[in-house]
Chains A and B, each alone.
Chain A
Amino acid sequence: MLKTRFFSICIFLCVILSTNRIFASDYYLNALRVFSEGRFYVASIEFERAIFYESDNNKIAQCKYFKSICYKGLGETDKSLEELSEINLFNLHDSLFFLIRYEQALGYYLINDPNQSLWNIEEIKFRFSDSLKTIDIIPLNILCLNALRKWEEAINLWSFFLDNSGLQDSVKNDYKTKINNLYSKRNIPKFYSPKKAENLSRFIPGSGQMYCGAVMEGTFNLLMNASLLGFAFCEFYYEYYFTGYFAGLGLFNKTYNGGMHRANLLAGGKNLEGMNKFNREASSLMIRVIDSGISVKSSLNISFNVWQIPKESYH
């Protein structure tokens, strides 16, 4: 009877102690199910629940990764990055490490921080010295280099990308020609210095706008400032001192300072517009290369398909 009681107590305790593991995996599977239905908000809560009950670092990292994808799906890139930054990367499986770093790189690129994005890409390259794995990150790497105006490095990466795309030589050469045209001097977006534009308008009102390519606006600004200054001098000449000072010079002061500030803003706007147009062309060319290159496409599919986390990382 004593033996029976002893074994009964042991069985009971084993069941109790194993429940947390059972429920943790239940929560994770439930969260994945909700995620697959596209209900990202609810899925983020369920992944948080799985994190709460889980104790294994790898599994917690997986849940946090999925939670960040949920936030990305909800358009909350900042929260997504915050979630990724909380992941403990120590001793993680390679595939999960890659996915987390890639999402961080992508997130930073999306919030217009290409420097931080490149830093995450370098981390991936450092961990995966086998260069075939790093083919997956080349498209994002090229976009970041474009944003930082590092044209030579971008062209070198393009060459490497094409060489490992699995395309025929004739098709490869055709794409290389297109890339050389894309990065030719006349096609690269011109950089307009906001400070230079402002200083030009300081000496000749309207010249800053003309420097940025807005010739009509610059001409109008020049004529307006000249008219007001002329009006002021005219009034002084005819001894209308108060009129010349308050009406003439007062208005001139406003339009002169406004013109300088406008030139500064215009330069920044033109830079952004030019870079966006260039990156759109680069992206569409990249998509054509990916669609044509079989080895690149299959490699990228494995990385970009969020369901394909290797099973050994979970069990």
Chain B
Amino acid sequence: MENRNILNIQIGLIVIFLSFTSLSFSQNPINCDLKFIEHLVKSGDFEEALYLLDSTDCSLDQLSDNVNYLRGWSLYSLKRLSPSSESLIKVRPSSEFYLKSQFFAACNYAHTGNYNKAIEILSKIEVNTEKQISLKNYEIAGVYLLQGNATLYEESFPKINRSFYEISESFDNLHKISENLKKHKIKSPAIAGILSGIIPGSGKFYSGKRGEAISAFIATTGLGLVTWENYRKSGLKSFKTIAFGTAFAFSYVANIYGSVVTVNILETEYSDNVKNSILFNLHIPLRNTFDK
């Protein structure tokens, strides 16, 4: 009986000891607290999440996919796209975040102008369902359109199944953008300059800036009339004629230069708008698919 009581006490003490030690091994409050880091990412505290990922010991092998995904997603949310891609592509196929990471990594590369890398990543993604295949082909087609490769874009089109609601609207938008690109006529800076030389402000009107055209016309014409009036009444050698004449000449030349520069800026603005529209329409299906 006494031996049995001693045995019971010993078993109880061992159980208590094992309980406390196993818990302290399994959950260290200072090192890699992934549960808390996930909470920070969900709450939108990305800087704080990155700080913990970088400063704590989160490099254990079984955690590396989660760590890479959380780091990549935090960097993406903070618009640091290049380092985000580098983290996201490290996520392995066995992870639950694999597909999301690969697609967003490719999208980030497309945003930063690295189109070849984006296509390389998209081509290597292991997809299984029809929706995933359509999404992959849609993203590849969009990157070809960004590159300006109309042939490959047209070839990719039939492979996309637009019946999936996540893709359908963006698909139609992308198609409209490609049609507009075909119809777009490039404006000539030389023609803008010549027009401004003939009628001040008309070059800006040709480039589509109507408000600027009117104000340039009024300012240049006004100075011209003032100069002519002073020349007519006071002669060429009058100080007022010379002063207003100089101002008019300066305004006239600046107007021509401004028209030429405006057309160049216009073309740059147009290509930037097209690029941003394509990137936006590449982004939306990914958010619809993975951020439900």
Q: Is A16 an interface residue (CB 8 A)?
A: yes
B residues 1-58 touching A (CB-CB < 8 Å): 7-8, 11-12, 15-16, 19-20, 23, 27, 29-30, 33, 36, 39-40, 45, 48, 51-52
Is B29 in contact with A246, judged by CB distance below 8 angstroms? no
Q: Which applies to chain A's interface (DSSP): helix, strand, loop or mixed?
A: helix
Report how far A26 CA is from B33 CA in the complex, Å: 14
How many residue pairs, one in A and one in B, have C-beta atoms under 8 Å apart? Answer: 68
Nearest-neighbour CB distance to chain A for B258, whole angstroms, equals: 20
Could you say which residues of chain B place their CB within 8 Å of the CB of A240? 229-230, 233
Is B16 in contact with A15, judged by CB distance below 8 angstroms? yes
Could you say which residues of chain B place their CB within 8 Å of the CB of A7? 8, 12
Report how far A295 CA is from B122 CA in the complex, Å: 73
Is B229 in contact with A16, judged by CB distance below 8 angstroms? no
Q: Is A211 an interface residue (CB 8 A)?
A: no
Report how far A250 CA is from B36 CA in the complex, Å: 65
Q: Is B93 an interface residue (CB 8 A)?
A: no
Could you say which residues of chain A place their CB within 8 Å of the CB of B39? 52
Could you say which residues of chain A place their CB within 8 Å of the CB of B8? 3-4, 7
A residues 1-44 touching B (CB-CB < 8 Å): 3-4, 7-8, 11-12, 15-16, 19, 23, 26-27, 30, 41-42, 44
Q: Is B100 an interface residue (CB 8 A)?
A: no
Q: Is A243 an interface residue (CB 8 A)?
A: yes
Is B226 in contact with A243, judged by CB distance below 8 angstroms? yes
Of the listed residues B19, B23, B39, B223, the one surrounded by the most CB atoms of chain A closer than 10 A to its CB is B19
Chain A's closest residue to B225 (CB) is: A242
Q: Is A247 an interface residue (CB 8 A)?
A: yes
Is A45 in contact with B48, judged by CB distance below 8 angstroms? yes
Is A4 in contact with B11, judged by CB distance below 8 angstroms? yes
Chain A's closest residue to B23 (CB) is: A19
Task: Please encode chain B, from 224 to 242, with 1 for each CB lying within 8 Å of some chain A CB and 0 for all others.
Answer: 0110111001000000100
Chain A interface size band reads 20 to 34
Is A8 in contact with B27, judged by CB distance below 8 angstroms? no
Provided the pairs A52-B39, A242-B222 are in contact, do residues A247 and B244 lie with their beta carbons within 8 angstroms?
A: yes
Of the listed residues A4, A8, A52, A242, the one surrounded by the most CB atoms of chain B closer than 10 A to its CB is A242
Is B225 in contact with A19, judged by CB distance below 8 angstroms? no
Nearest-neighbour CB distance to chain A for B281, whole angstroms, equals: 34
Q: Is A241 an interface residue (CB 8 A)?
A: yes
Is A8 in contact with B23, judged by CB distance below 8 angstroms? no
Report how far A7 CA is from B36 CA in the complex, Å: 33
Q: Is A72 an interface residue (CB 8 A)?
A: no
Is B229 in contact with A49, judged by CB distance below 8 angstroms? no
Chain B's closest residue to A240 (CB) is: B229
Report how far A240 CA is from B231 CA in the complex, Å: 11
Could you say which residues of chain A place their CB within 8 Å of the CB of B40? 45, 48
Chain A's closest residue to B13 (CB) is: A11
Report how far A242 CA is from B222 CA in the complex, Å: 7
Report how far A115 CA is from B12 CA in the complex, Å: 63
Report how far A260 CA is from B8 CA in the complex, Å: 94
Nearest-neighbour CB distance to chain B for A2, whole angstroms, equals: 11
Nearest-neighbour CB distance to chain B for A268, whole angstroms, equals: 30
Nearest-neighbour CB distance to chain A for B148, whole angstroms, equals: 44
Task: Please encode chain A, from 238 to 268, with 1 for each CB lying within 8 Å of some chain B CB and 0 for all others.
Answer: 0111110011001000000000000000000
Name 6 A/B residue pairs within 8 A (Cβ), A-sorted: A4-B8, A26-B29, A45-B48, A48-B48, A246-B226, A247-B244
